[in-house]
Amino acid sequence: TPDIYMGSKGIVKRYHSGGINANAVMDWVYKNFPDLESLLFTGCGAGAAVAPPLFAAQASQHYQDEGKPLKHIYALMDSPSHLLT
């Protein structure tokens, strides 16, 4: 979709809630894993253009704010579309 899978716009009777779903997952991670050492974020194609580095930065800030900074945080982007244009 034109929103790089992060929005909630419907196109051709298909609805994507990538941002909503990803934020729900991160809320679950924060609740269930308060003392992580490492996190990996990954995406492919359009999902690699924004999501991995964005969510990695947000998670890094979250754990820093909680006083439990991550030792390692990774963003793996497979075929990010912004590098091809």
Residue 48 above 70 pLDDT? Answer: yes
Query: At a CB cut-off of 8 Å and minimum separation 6, what does 62 contact?
Result: 26, 30
The whole-angstrom separation of Cα 10 and Cα 16 is: 6
Q: How does the average pLDDT of the chain come out, rounded?
A: 83
pLDDT at residue 55 in the model: 94
Q: What is the pLDDT of residue 32?
A: 97
pLDDT tens digit sequence for 24-38: 999 999 999 999 999
The Cα diameter of the chain in Å comes to: 45
